[in-house]
Amino acid sequence: MTESTTDWQLQATKRLDVRPILAEGGEPFALILETAAPLKTGETLLLIAPFEPVPLYQVLFERGFSHETRFMGAGEWWVLFTRA
């Protein structure tokens, strides 16, 4: 794990791993929005997914979030969403 990845874990206000939900055939979209909604300016959500959640970038951008993305390896993408 890189230093910046460790920093992401430490600075994340909320952390949400949606891989188990998706593996069971569920849809985590509503949970992601629910988890992100109460975050205040400067707070972050670390989302862990089995693929790069590109459509989510625009949805959360429209709700005031920027993002940084890291590919961690097979089946693991980390996205740090920060409330602007």
pLDDT, position 68? 94
Q: List pLDDT tens digits, range 25-84.
A: 999 999 999 999 999 999 999 999 999 999 999 999 999 999 999 999 999 999 999 999
CA distance 51 to 78: 9
Instruction: Report helix, strand or coil for 74.
Output: coil
Gyration radius from the chain CA atoms = 12
Name the residue among 59, 67, 70 with its Cα closest to residue 84: 67
pLDDT, position 10? 83
For residue 15, how many C-alpha atoms fall within 13 Å in the half-sphere facing its CB? 11
| Domain range annotation of the chain | 3-83
pLDDT, position 39? 98
pLDDT, position 59? 98
pLDDT, position 21? 98
- CATH architecture entry for 3-83: 2-Layer Sandwich (3.30)
